[in-house]
Structure 1
Amino acid sequence: MRTWLAGRNWRLYGRPRRWLAASLLVVLLAASGIAVRGLQLGVEFTGGRSIQYATTTALDPETARQAVSTAGFPNAVVQEADDGDIRIRTGPIDDTAQEAIRDALAAEAGGAEVVSDELIGPTLGEELRRNALIALGVALLAQLTYLAVRFRWTYSAGAVGALIGNVAVVVGMFAWTGRTADGLFLAAVLTVIGYSVNDSVVVFDRIRETRVARRGRAFADVAGDAVLQTLPRTVNTGASTLLVLLALLVLGGDSLADFAFALVLGILAGTFSTASVAVPLTVALDRRWPPPPPGPPASAARRGTGVRREDGAVV
């Protein structure tokens, strides 16, 4: 497949702005969900109540979740605690609502009692939101620093542009689908950031190697060849990861569905954004700010012999 693609001589990035315009449209459509429907934040970020129940007979989380939903709390987060108890997180509720949840669980398990009952106040929720934004900012800054050291700034700008687009798509799709952005969602977004940069670094390494080996060729053609050469690897890696995540999405239950959904979106967006955002943005920036021509090696300078620059001139 790699040989067949390399032999097509496609000029993928002859007009990089078309790639960027199409990608920007997709990102805007996804991110508009935040403005149209709003992002539904989880209990960790808004404040609420976290209650742990011990049941007479063991309940699996799915049965408990159905019982709590039937009792009038469909948005409650129901999870199994380490000791087999049921932990439930909801928005602010009073004691009457808490007793209704307990009765619903007791009807399924033959009895239930409260083991712990914790209130998550608005102040704590605001602190968690701030810490979540700090975590995202640190992750982006760390990736930007690594890319700036590892590659020329035009490469790092392309990778960061793709990364920001991926995060916007994931967050926007969560808003459109009405899913809850909680702690697991934050973990998924941070994972998407790492995956997106990893894919871009692989392609950029191939671009740099190809550019050195094929001096004199236009950078857009070199970038297109590198993308085609790494495309089979990218598809194989993404497909193998998606198989696991799709299994988790379908069979993991509601407690892990949002986490798996965010990762599936991130893998798909990250795979496409490398070719549709990172590389064309790098090509566009390279045309506007081309790198300085390489200087002659020290040995050539001593002998007075010339070397050929990237643009074909001899110096």
Structure 2
Amino acid sequence: MNIVKARKYFYFLSLFIIIIGLLSFGVKGLNYSIDFTGGTLIEMNFKQAVNIADVRSVLEDAGISQDSRVQEGEGNVIIIRTKDLSQEKSGELLKSMEEKIGSYTLLRNQSVGPTIGKELRNNALLSVIIAFVLMVIYITIRFEFLSGLAAVAALIHDILVTVGLVSLLGLEVDGAFIAALLTIVGYSINNTIIVFDRVRENMGKKKKGEFLDGIIHRSIMQTLTRSINTSLTVVFVLAALILIGGYTIRSFILILLIGVVAGCYSSVLLASPLYYDFRRLRGDSI
């Protein structure tokens, strides 16, 4: 099968996944942490099973039930997100939890003001945009402008797939989420550049009667083993971290896992076919 000639099937598959993710994003949105929304996050690991209704009852007695969200974690972990609480109010709430529900180990108790949360969200978006612009400039200098456009289009695909699945799975979006996105972008562009480099090399060794789609397909196949092996190595490490790593990093690792798989897919099956289509739309003789 010629990957370039079969590119429409890969385009449709990507579009299907992105549409599902965007629908989830439109209906559910993202599960923002207090890093972006502002407020107080309290995470407790109780020594016995806990009924969420009892937790909400304590919050109601404290007068903050209307502004609070309660979430169950792994085991007997309870996560409470509420409006920004003073240190005194937070201490009173923790004391009430121990008196009315039982003893626990405090895992997290952090507060972020709404202004700081908004600033973090804006800076996160700006960092991703700057990364894209710099990559276009770098790839344009090393290859050509259409290669840069194709690479960024593949990266946008990776971001949309990752964000959509994060929304669908309800994973927490915090400061580590931005670190994960930038890691995914860097990992994916590395694979894409390897393929583009082989395309440029093979174009210099163009065989008589060989067209661009054949050159791109041959380049992809020559780098396929390297791309798959590299991705599998990372996937195995991430899978091990999901199984034996701590609960607090699980969302971060899952986001990386989604992005690495999406990045490998786009580098092999989307970036170079997109470059071919951009060349065709420009009217090049290919």
> Which of the five TM-score ranges fits, normalised by the shorter chain?
0.7 to 0.9
DSSP-derived class of the 2:134 partner? helix
Indicate the larger mover: 94-103 or 208-217: 94-103
* 1:91 positional shift: 3.0
C-alpha contact (below 8 Å) 1:43/1:89 kept by paired residues: no
Report the AA paired with residue 21 of structure 1.
Answer: F
Pairing 1:206–2:198 present? yes
* 1:119 positional shift: 4.3
Query: What residue number does 2:63 align with?
Result: none
Residue 234 of structure 1, aligned match among 219, 227, 238: 227
* 1:215 positional shift: 4.3
Indicate the larger mover: 98-107 or 221-230: 98-107
Aligned length: 263
Q: 1:117 to 1:280 in 2, by over 3 A?
A: closer
Q: 1:245 to 1:98 in 2, by over 3 A?
A: same
Q: 1:77 to 1:149 in 2, by over 3 A?
A: farther
**CA shift digits 1:98-133 (9 cap, x unpaired):** 5333454695469x8xxx976422222111111111
Report the AA paired with residue 203 of structure 2.
Answer: R
Question: TM-score scaled to structure 2, two decimals?
Answer: 0.80
Query: What residue number does 2:260 align with?
Result: 267
Indicate the larger mover: 139-148 or 225-234: 139-148
Gaps of 5+ in 2: 57-68
- Sequence identity of aligned pairs in percent? 28
Pairing 1:125–2:113 present? no
* 1:23 positional shift: 2.2
Q: 1:42 to 1:204 in 2, by over 3 A?
A: same
Q: 1:89 to 1:203 in 2, by over 3 A?
A: farther
Pairing 1:182–2:174 present? yes
* 1:137 positional shift: 1.2
Question: TM-score scaled to structure 1, two decimals?
Answer: 0.73
DSSP-derived class of the 1:231 partner? helix
Aligned pairs for 1:18-97 within 5 A: 18-49=9-40, 71-72=55-56, 74-75=70-71, 90-92=81-83, 94=85
Query: What residue number does 2:126 align with?
Result: 134
- State the superposition RMSD in angstroms: 3.2
Report the AA paired with residue 169 of structure 2.
Answer: T
Query: What residue number does 1:56 align with?
Result: none
C-alpha contact (below 8 Å) 1:67/1:104 kept by paired residues: no
DSSP-derived class of the 1:49 partner? strand
Residue 158 of structure 1, aligned match among 150, 163, 179: 150
* 1:141 positional shift: 1.4
Distance 1:203 1:17 in 2: 19
Distance 1:276 1:263 in 2: 20
Gaps of 5+ in 1: 1-9, 53-60, 79-87, 293-310
